[in-house]
């Protein structure tokens, strides 16, 4: 548990001292600060308070009647790792101060205590504690959201997706998930289902691209016996199977135009008919559709019904390309390397510097799926537990630096700011001189410090690329 500020945002401090006069004195000295102070005169009383109501800080007298101060320090830390301890002793010795800090004490003070010094220390502690608590809370929220059912991400773009998803999940009846191939649309659909009120119900997947037109309708809506040649039995479709849960229609753009009207009826009224059966049926189902295609363009080309498009586009979640969220790359690489390291019995699997540089500059057109498959391959191919450039599939390891990468000035979201263009150009020049920063700075006519500043702008870790040329350039 993370001790929180006590009443009215005041931090709680416990003074553990066998001398009641010393407790009273410390209470008086700290009375003007934004803290609440309690006292304990024995080790046992101290531990009782730590167990029942852990304070943010303990001012611990090293000499207690029933237990050695350092032992008490250990016990406090075991019971409440987030509680800080400042040790107070009458006799200063460097060894005991060092030992106290090594054993995890936050600070060390000797008697007689200077009132000014103590107040300064407590003020500094409350400020630091405030910062640590805020950072800790943000971090756990991020981790919790990022790990939402295996949909990893911590980039601003993914944070925006998570935030939208959390707002949509309780209320949507139909949602559209868009994004390039391999960006995680199906994973997102599963998370949306998990977050929705029907999470206990079934999650049925229909891959619209995998079904021939003739089978599509029957697969989706079912049929009755004798409805057509070969329909020997009455069969429920996916729509009915998903009743009480979610139907995921992957590759919705591939739904034959002939079936789109029936799909619209399902979306509008939750009504459908089995093939050959005139009775309309009702279902209680949430529908999530996904596509990597631009449905708007398909509407203009009359390949997709406009009314169906508007019904779907009403609630849209768009997943960014992997290349546009490089902050996630490190997270995903780590995740997949851990997974495949376990799978192939190669714990502690890592990328060499050159491999890292390659992974960071390769555009990953197949997005997370391509990254996952490639790292799976690398984990299988590498000899020890270090993956090098040549362990990557050839299409990636032979990815040429020179001339192969056009600097893109726009992303899916639109044109990019000048600062980003500048950063990309600097990266391009750096690539062409095989990571030689002095040479790159010379060509660009800027100092090395400016070059570092420009590269550092995204906060993205820039692996050293000096050794890349040797390892990753095609023979």
Ligand X SMILES: Nc1ncnc2c1ncn2[C@@H]1O[C@H](COP(=O)(O)OP(=O)(O)OP(=O)(O)O)[C@@H](O)[C@H]1O
Positions in the binding site for ligand X (CB under 6 A) = 150-153, 179, 181-187, 250, 290, 292, 368-369, 372
Q: Which is nearer to ligand X, 83 or 155 (CB)?
A: 155
Nearest-approach distance from CB 418 to ligand X, in angstroms: 30
The total of other beta-carbon atoms located within 10 Å of residue 307's CB is 13
Nearest-approach distance from CB 131 to ligand X, in angstroms: 30
Which residue in this structure is represented by tokens 């016996």? 225
Which among 47, 40, 33, 32 has a CA at the least distance from the CA of 14?
A: 40
CB 3 within 8 A of CB 83: yes
Q: Which helix (H) or strand (E) holds 310?
A: helix 306-313
Q: Which is nearer to ligand X, 291 or 397 (CB)?
A: 291
Nearest-approach distance from CB 415 to ligand X, in angstroms: 25
Beta bridge partners of 39: 15
The total of other beta-carbon atoms located within 10 Å of residue 7's CB is 7
Q: Which is nearer to ligand X, 2 or 318 (CB)?
A: 318
Which residue in this structure is represented by tokens 């220390």? 121
Which among 58, 106, 94, 59 has a CA at the least distance from the CA of 79?
A: 58
CB 235 within 8 A of CB 222: yes
Q: Is 111 left (phi over 0), alpha (psi -120 to 50) or beta?
A: beta
Q: Which is nearer to ligand X, 11 or 336 (CB)?
A: 336
Task: Give ∠ CA 369-372-373 in degrees, rounded to 5.
Answer: 85
Q: Which structure tokens are listed for 187?
A: 């994973």
Nearest-approach distance from CB 349 to ligand X, in angstroms: 17
Q: Which is nearer to ligand X, 262 or 369 (CB)?
A: 369
Nearest-approach distance from CB 410 to ligand X, in angstroms: 21
C-alpha 145/C-alpha 172 separation (Å) is 19
Q: Which is nearer to ligand X, 235 or 292 (CB)?
A: 292
Nearest-approach distance from CB 204 to ligand X, in angstroms: 15
Query: Which position's Cβ is nearest ligand X?
Result: 184
Nearest-approach distance from CB 368 to ligand X, in angstroms: 4
C-alpha 278/C-alpha 10 separation (Å) is 70
Q: Which is nearer to ligand X, 60 or 333 (CB)?
A: 333
């Amino acid at each position: 548990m993370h001790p929180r500020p006590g009443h009215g945002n005041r931090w709680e401090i416990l003074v553990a001292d066998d001398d009641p006069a010393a407790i009273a004195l410390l209470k008086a000295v700290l009375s003007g600060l934004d803290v609440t102070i309690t006292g304990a005169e024995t080790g046992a009383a101290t531990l009782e308070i730590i167990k029942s109501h852990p304070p943010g800080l303990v001012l611990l007298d090293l000499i207690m009647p029933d237990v050695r101060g350092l032992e008490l320090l250990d016990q406090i830390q075991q019971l409440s790792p987030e509680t800080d301890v400042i040790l107070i002793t009458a006799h200063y010795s460097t060894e005991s101060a060092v030992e106290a800090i090594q054993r995890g004490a936050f600070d060390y003070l000797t008697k007689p205590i200077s009132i000014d010094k103590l107040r300064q220390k407590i003020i500094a502690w409350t400020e630091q504690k405030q910062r640590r608590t805020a950072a800790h809370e943000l971090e756990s929220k991020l981790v919790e959201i990022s790990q939402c059912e295996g949909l990893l991400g911590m980039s601003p773009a993914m944070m925006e997706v998570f935030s939208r998803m959390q707002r949509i999940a309780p209320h949507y009846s139909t949602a559209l998930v868009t994004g390039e191939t391999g960006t995680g649309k199906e994973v997102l659909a599963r998370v949306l289902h998990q977050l929705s009120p029907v999470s206990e119900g079934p999650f049925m997947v229909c891959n619209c691209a995998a079904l021939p037109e003739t089978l599509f309708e029957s697969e989706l809506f079912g049929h009755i016996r004798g409805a057509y040649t070969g329909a020997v039995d009455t069969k429920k479709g996916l729509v009915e199977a998903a009743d009480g849960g979610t139907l995921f229609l992957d590759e919705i753009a591939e739904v034959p135009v002939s079936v789109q009207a029936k799909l619209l009826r399902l979306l509008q009224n939750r009504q459908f008919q089995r093939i050959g059966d005139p009775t309309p049926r009702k279902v209680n189902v949430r529908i999530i559709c996904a596509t990597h295609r631009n449905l708007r363009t398909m509407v203009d080309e009359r390949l997709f019904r406009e009314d169906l498009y508007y019904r779907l586009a009403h609630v849209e979640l768009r997943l960014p390309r992997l290349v546009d969220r490089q902050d996630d790359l490190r997270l995903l690489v780590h995740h997949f390397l851990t997974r495949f390291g376990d799978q192939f019995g190669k714990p502690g699997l890592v990328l060499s510097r050159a491999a890292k540089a390659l992974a960071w500059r390769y555009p990953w057109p197949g997005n997370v799926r391509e990254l996952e498959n490639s790292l799976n391959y690398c984990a299988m191919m590498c000899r020890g537990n270090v993956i090098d450039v040549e362990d990557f599939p050839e299409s990636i390891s032979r990815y040429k630096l020179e001339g192969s990468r056009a600097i893109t000035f726009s992303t899916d979201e639109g044109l990019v700011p000048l600062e980003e263009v500048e950063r990309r150009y600097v990266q391009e020049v750096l690539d062409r001189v095989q990571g030689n920063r002095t040479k790159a700075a010379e060509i660009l006519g800027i100092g090395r410090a400016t070059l570092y500043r420009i590269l550092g702008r995204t906060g993205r870790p820039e692996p050293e690329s000096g050794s890349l040329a040797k390892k990753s350039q095609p023979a």
